[in-house]
Chain A
Amino acid sequence: MQKADPVSMGESDHALTGTGGVSNDNFVQHVTDNYGMYITKCYSYLKCPKLAEDAVQEGVLAAHQNLASVKDSSALGAWLYRVIIRKAIDVLRQNQKLPRFDDDLEELVSYDEHGLLIAPIWTQTSNPEEEILRSEGLQQVKQAIDALTDVNRIPVLLKDFEGFSIKEISELLNISESNVKVRIHRGRIKLRSQLNDYFYPNNTDDL
């Protein structure tokens, strides 16, 4: 018998087969507890409250139809969340808001004629992650993520914040795996350069 992959399946792939290892009440309770979080997460992709609401509702219904494939109730939360994020990407595509992931040749990092990085030798702190995580730093990170263009923001959100694999992102966005890697890498570089003030003392260069 073929084993169903609860994360990668499409909503039309499975028949209505009942509720498997997760009860209907458990599902409803889960949706009720996390509904607001789903909306805000979907909003970070769709940038439209109405579309975010639609994506969550469609995602919840699609997930409910495939509830039988979840054998373990402890996996319900992560599974449901990923189904909803997948739906948000579908809604982006349906509304033709998914960006074109074309080649982008703009150089984001400065090098000299020998290919050596032009950057300060010293950083402000030995632990930059801790430095950012101070309350104002987090706000800055939030702004930096929002400031990324969709082309970089969507792959970075999917990979670094939602934990999708490169292969899954490549299928979701319908682009090659190498393109996914480039998009994420460039997104991370842009994110880093937006947070330069936290890393380098008296930095004036756009490095």
Chain B
Amino acid sequence: MMPKILKAIKFETLMRPIMPIGAWYFRVSPKMITCREFNQFIFDYTENLLTEKQSKLFERHMKVCPMCRNFLKTYIAAYKAGKHVFPENNLNVPDTVPQDLLDAISAVSSDSSLRKR
């Protein structure tokens, strides 16, 4: 049986001495971000711009959220694949250097060498 005196003391009163420890724990303990917040970190993650703390939060979310893990994987795959795409020259423009451009270059070159002399 609990003594009457203890019953009279409220739970919060009992906890008060150790509350600063709890507050400290919550400050240093890992937090969890939502998927929406995770999305806001993605760009900085791909460019290595996250701070150490942000990086920990980001990776912690990634560990527990398969949807975001896949989202990130496909996000990276999509823009990296773009690097392999090379535009085809199906424009109606000749891909040889026009003579007037070559003439302009050589005119500037000869002008420049004359100036040097």
Task: Tell whether, in the assembled complex, residue B34 and residue A36 are in contact, meaning their CB atoms are under 8 Å apart.
Answer: no
CA distance A141 to B82 in the complex (A): 6
Task: Tell whether, in the assembled complex, residue A123 and residue B81 are in contact, meaning their CB atoms are under 8 Å apart.
Answer: no
Task: Tell whether, in the assembled complex, residue B80 and residue A116 are in contact, meaning their CB atoms are under 8 Å apart.
Answer: no
User: Hey, which chain A residues are within 8 Å of B74, CB to CB?
Assistant: 123, 128, 192, 195, 199
CA distance A31 to B75 in the complex (A): 35
User: Hey, which chain B residues are within 8 Å of A191, CB to CB?
Assistant: 78-79, 82
B66 within 8 A of A: yes
Flag the segment in A82-90, A96-104, A129-137 that touches B. Answer: A129-137
User: Hey, which chain A residues are within 8 Å of B87, CB to CB?
Assistant: 40-41, 43-44, 142
Main secondary structure of the interface of A (DSSP, over half): helix
Q: A16-B112, A28-B102, A41-B87 are in contact. Are A109 and B78 (CB under 8 A)?
A: no
Task: Tell whether, in the assembled complex, residue A31 and residue B97 are in contact, meaning their CB atoms are under 8 Å apart.
Answer: yes
Flag the segment in B4-12, B14-22, B23-31, B103-111 that touches A. Answer: B103-111
Chain A's interface size range is 35 or more
Selected contact of A61 from candidates B39, B79, B92, B101, CB within 8 Å: B101
Task: Tell whether, in the assembled complex, residue A119 and residue B82 are in contact, meaning their CB atoms are under 8 Å apart.
Answer: no
Q: A116-B34, A185-B43 are in contact. Are A49 and B91 (CB under 8 A)?
A: yes
Selected contact of B70 from candidates A28, A161, A199, CB within 8 Å: A199
Binary interface encoding of chain B residues 65-87 relative to chain A, with 1 for a CB under 8 A from any of its CBs, else 0: 11110110111111111111111
Shortest beta-carbon distance, A97 to chain B, in Å? Answer: 17
Closest to B36 in A: A115
User: Hey, which chain A residues are within 8 Å of B67, CB to CB?
Assistant: 116-121
Binary interface encoding of chain A residues 20-60 relative to chain B, with 1 for a CB under 8 A from any of its CBs, else 0: 00001001100110011101110110000100110001001
Task: Tell whether, in the assembled complex, residue A129 and residue B81 are in contact, meaning their CB atoms are under 8 Å apart.
Answer: yes
Shortest beta-carbon distance, A7 to chain B, in Å? Answer: 19
CA distance A83 to B105 in the complex (A): 16
Shortest beta-carbon distance, B76 to chain A, in Å? Answer: 8
A-B contacts, 25 listed (Cβ < 8 Å): A28-B102, A32-B97, A35-B96, A36-B89, A36-B95, A39-B93, A40-B87, A40-B88, A52-B93, A60-B105, A61-B105, A64-B105, A109-B71, A111-B36, A114-B34, A116-B67, A121-B70, A132-B81, A133-B84, A141-B78, A141-B84, A145-B85, A188-B79, A192-B78, A195-B74
10 closest cross-chain pairs (CB), A and B: A36-B95, A115-B34, A117-B35, A128-B77, A129-B77, A192-B78, A115-B36, A185-B43, A40-B87, A132-B81
